[in-house]
Every structure is written in C-alpha cells, then in structure tokens.
C-alpha cells in the first residue's frame, strides 16, 4: 500500500509541476542557453523531489526481502 501512495504522491507532484511549467510557457524559451539551463535545473529538481517524496512515504520497505512467507 505504501508503494501505491508513493506513486500517487509522485504523480500528483509531477502533474502539478508539469502543468505549472506548461502554463508559464517557460518551455518556449529553450533556445536561450541561460533559460535552457534554468529549465533543466527545474526538471532535475522535480525529479529529486519525486525521489524524496517516494522514499519519505515508503521508507525502505519496498527493498526488504520477504524472508518468512
């Protein structure tokens, strides 16, 4: 269940960030190198926040082996 909640949180955050970036029309500025670096940094930050959200919600339970089943 924690995996599912982690994926939902990641999806919601990615959707919010993607819609915000799309509506701000920042992607139309990709031809300028400084804007391109800023856009790349924002997308990297979105990815890092996704990882933080997932591991804060699920902890290390997805990676523990089921020894006694």
How does the average pLDDT of the chain come out, rounded? 88
The residue whose two tokens read 């089943």 is 69
Residue 26's H or E segment, with its range, is none
What confidence score (pLDDT) does residue 58 get?
A: 87
What confidence score (pLDDT) does residue 60 get?
A: 73
Per-residue b or e along 26-51, where b marks 16 or more CB atoms closer than 10 Å to that residue's CB: eeeeeeeeeeeeebeeeeeebeeebe
């Amino acid at each position: 269940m924690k995996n599912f909640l982690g994926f939902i949180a990641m999806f919601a955050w990615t959707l919010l960030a993607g819609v915000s970036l799309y509506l701000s029309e920042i992607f139309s500025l990709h031809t300028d190198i400084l804007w391109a670096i800023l856009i790349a940094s924002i997308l990297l930050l979105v990815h890092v926040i996704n990882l933080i959200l997932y591991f804060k919600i699920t902890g290390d339970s997805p990676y523990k082996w089921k020894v006694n089943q």
